[in-house]
Amino acid sequence: MKNLIDIKSLKTVEIEKIITIAQKFEHALESGVVESRVRGKNLAFLFNETSTRTRFSFEMACHNLGVRIFNFHAGSSSLEKGETLVDTVENLWAIGINGVILRHRDPDIIINTERDLKTKIPFINAGNGSMAHPTQALLDYYTMKKHLGTVEGKNIVIIGDILHSRVAKSNIELLSRFDANIICCAPEYFRDSKIKGVIWSDNLKECLKNADVTMCLRIQEERIEENIPFEKYIKSFQVNESNINKKSLLMHPGPTNRDIEVSSKLLDGEQGQTILEQAKNGVFVRMAVLDLLLGGTK
């Protein structure tokens, strides 16, 4: 494992290894004793897109492991003077940076940059365009395994804007690997015909009836209003206390738009607490990723 660019590039055994190491870190944090083999490493944060959960989660993971953080601001860097990202990263490596976490709107920037680098600096994708968000999918899988034991044969319902969601695509790639039944509940204009191996539906009530996991996605108002009135979408696709399976695991990658994707009553109730647990689990999973990428082969 040299980089974490997307789920597709991960071997199944590597996914399971990340989960196992994340479990060890969770138990270590509970006991208050964390052994780190990456203490003193230097990590550059290149976030060209806004982020709260992902950024803070990575920062917390770094602090827990004793990894030093160096924040990169594109607007005040040599990129503004015409330097390529490849040359910038080569120079960061020369200075002593051991790895790069990159979040960017351009879906191809990580692949293109990593391909042209002469150095062996590890890259971690913290979200690129609408293509991939691997650590989110990994923490979602970790959360599901804690509650369900396995996702094999489980009904995972993903609701909302599948077309533009890197979270949905990464989750579908990962969960398919472990033989989950994936149902994508979305209106026609939010479907992605390139995604195979899933069941498509626009009947929310039927989808939720036997759902083991109910995963909602954030909806952007401007994308809705291009197609139908916002209120009509809410009426057809909002998850609330009247339609959710009471035994289903409620999940959301955040940020959550209250009373749009999910009702406030459901978010504030017992089922809504899993969404906070996802954020908590993200720290353990990202600690595991940093351990594997920055810790060498020892």
Instruction: List pLDDT tens digits, range 253-286.
Output: 988 989 999 999 999 999 999 999 999 999 999 9
Q: Classify each residue of 186-201 as buried b or exposed e, where b means 16 or more C-beta atoms within 10 Å of its C-beta.
A: bbeebbbeebeebeee
Instruction: List pLDDT tens digits, range 129-146.
Output: 888 999 999 999 999 999
Per residue of the chain (298 residues), give pLDDT as tens: 789 999 999 999 999 999 999 999 999 999 999 999 999 999 999 988 778 899 999 999 999 999 999 998 755 455 655 678 899 899 999 999 999 999 988 878 888 888 888 888 999 999 988 889 999 999 999 999 999 999 999 999 999 999 999 999 999 999 999 999 999 999 998 999 999 999 999 999 999 999 999 999 998 776 666 667 778 888 999 999 999 999 999 999 988 989 999 999 999 999 999 999 999 999 999 999 999 999 964 4
The reported pLDDT for the residue numbered 222 is 67
Number of other residues whose CB lies within 10 A of the CB of residue 60: 17
Beta strands in 142-194 (DSSP E): 155-159, 181-185
Contacts (Cβ under 8 Å, ≥6 apart) of 237: 159, 160, 185, 186, 187, 204, 261
Contacts (Cβ under 8 Å, ≥6 apart) of 279: 53, 57, 254
**3-state per-residue secondary structure call for 1-37:** CCCECCCCCCCHHHHHHHHHHHHHHHHHHHHCCCCCC
State whether residue 94 is helix, strand or coil: helix
Sorted by where each starts, the structural domains of the chain and their CATH numbers stand as 12-132+282-294 (3.40.50.1370), 134-279 (3.40.50.1370)
Beta strands in 23-170 (DSSP E): 42-47, 68-72, 99-104, 123-128, 155-159
